[in-house]
Structure 1
Amino acid sequence: MNLSTIMNPFCLSFFALMLFLQAEAQQLPSKAMQIKTAVMAAPEDLRDGAMVYGYDTRGNWTVLREGSNDMVCIADDPNAEGFSVACYHKQLEPFMERGRELKKEGKNFKEIFDTREAEAKAGTLQMPKDGATLYSLSAAAEDYNGMNGEVKNTYLRYVVYIPWATQESTGLALKPEAPGMPWIMDPGTHRAHIMINPPKE
Structure 2
Amino acid sequence: MLLSFISCFGVAIGQTNIPSAESQIKTALYASPEMYKDGAKVLGYNNKGELIILREGNNGLICISNSPKRKGVSVSCYSDKLEAFMARGRELADSGKNEVEKREFRKKDIDAGTLKMPQEPAAVYIVTATKEDYDFESGELKNSKMRYVLYKPYMSGAETGLPTKPSAPGMPWLMDADTHRSHIMISPANNN
- Does structure 1 retain, via aligned residues, the 8 Å contact 2:29–2:63? yes
Aligned partner of 1:147 in structure 2 is 137
User: Aligned with 1:180: secondary structure?
Assistant: coil
Work out the CA distance in 2 between the residues paired with 1:162 and 1:127: 7
Q: Please state how far the C-alpha of 1:26 moved relative to its aligned partner.
A: 4.1
Residue 89 of structure 2 is matched in structure 1 by: 99
- The yes-or-no answer on 1:133 pairing with 2:123 is yes
Alpha-carbon distance between aligned partners in 2 of 1:134 and 1:39, rounded to the nearest angstrom: 13
The answer on 1:165 being equivalent to 2:172 is: no
**CA distance 1:119–1:23, shift in 2 (3 Å):** closer
Instruction: Supply the distance in 1 between the matched residues of 2:13 and 2:97 (Cα, whole angstroms).
Output: 32
Structure 1 unaligned runs (5+)?
1-19
Provide the residue aligned with 1:122 in structure 2.
112
Which of 70, 73, 78 is 1:88 aligned to? 78
- Report if aligned partners of 1:28, 1:57 keep a CA contact under 8 Å in 2: yes
Aligned partners of 2:179 and 2:141: how far apart in 1? 35
Backbone CA RMSD of aligned residues: 1.6
Report the TM-score, using the length of structure 1 for normalisation: 0.86
CA deviation after TM superposition for structure 1 residue 22, in Å? 8.6
Gap change, CA 1:21 and 1:132, over 3 Å in 2: closer
TM, length-normalised to structure 2: 0.90
For residues 73-122 of structure 1, the C-alpha deviation after alignment (integer angstroms, 9 at most, x for no partner) is 01011221121100000000000001111111111111111111111111
Q: Secondary structure at the match of 2:159?
A: helix
Q: Report the alpha carbon displacement of residue 24 of structure 1 after superposing the two structures with TM.
A: 3.4
What's the CA shift for 1:58? 2.1
Contact 2:40 2:63 in 1 (8 A): yes
Structure 2 residue aligned with 1:8: none
Letter in 2 for 1:159: V
* Runs (4+) off by over 3 Å: 20-27
Partner of 1:54: 44
In proportion to residue count, which structure has more helix? 1
The amino acid of 1:69's aligned partner reads: N
The aligned amino acid for 1:174 is T
Range that drifts further, 55-64 or 136-145: 55-64
Deviation digits for residues 159-180 of structure 1, max 9, x if unmatched? 0012111011111101111100
SS at match of 2:124: strand
Distance in 2 (CA, whole Å) between partners of 1:80 and 1:27 is: 10
Aligned partner of 2:135: which letter?
A: N
- Select the structure of larger CA radius of gyration: 1
Q: For structure 2, which runs of at least 5 residues remain unmatched after alignment?
A: 1-9
Aligned length: 182
For residues 109 and 50 of structure 2, the distance between their equivalents in structure 1, rounded to whole angstroms, comes to 27
Q: Shift of the alpha carbon at 1:23? A: 6.9
Do residues 41 (structure 1) and 27 (structure 2) align?
no
Contact persistence 1:86–1:134 (CA under 8 A): yes
Question: Secondary structure of the equivalent of 1:106?
Answer: coil
Instruction: Output the CA distance in 1 between the equivalents of 2:90 and 2:185.
Output: 21
